[in-house]
A = this chain, B = another copy of it.
């Protein structure tokens, strides 16, 4: 028997309703939010959540991180090739533009949800680290950096993460309200330094 007011399992919008409820719940409570609560908010039976999403990580990934078109772009080998072939003075700008575009599409709520989830669960930190560094930044750095690929990759990650924290989480007004291309010009040379510049002696 379907409880009054719930969407039946065959409803075409049940999956979308679960994703929308999950997005709100993860943003509000972090990674450990109640899956039963998500089902209740979506107006579906809890079993339907498990039907569409095998586990919490899958639901989180698709509700909060996924569904953003431009994230796929960063995994495209053509992007790495574009950066590799660009003028050295433009590579840093291309990388920071890629992140700002992706994160502006995510918006404050989803960006904050990812950070909040990461702070509540070590496995989420590891997941974000693996995707951000291993899949997105490291291949580009490996294609153009003269040396010290790991350190350069992580320094770029530090600037990219920090810019997101200031623009979307702390909402500091000058960075929050800045035009995207103005930020690309201000931060691009920093990413370029980390990518190909002289970082000084190692110890």
Contacts and interface: CB of A to CB of B under 8 A. Distances in A.
29 contacts: A30-B119, A30-B120, A116-B119, A119-B119, A128-B170, A148-B174, A150-B174, A151-B174, A154-B174, A154-B175, A155-B186, A155-B187, A157-B162, A158-B162, A158-B175, A160-B162, A161-B166, A161-B170, A162-B162, A162-B163, A179-B203, A182-B201, A185-B201, A186-B194, A186-B199, A186-B200, A190-B190, A190-B193, A190-B194
Contacts of A163: 158, 162
A181 B203 CA distance: 7
When all copies of this chain in the complex are counted, the total is: 2
Interface residues of A, number: 50
Question: Which of A120, A161, A203 counts the most B-chain CB atoms under 10 A from its CB?
Answer: A161
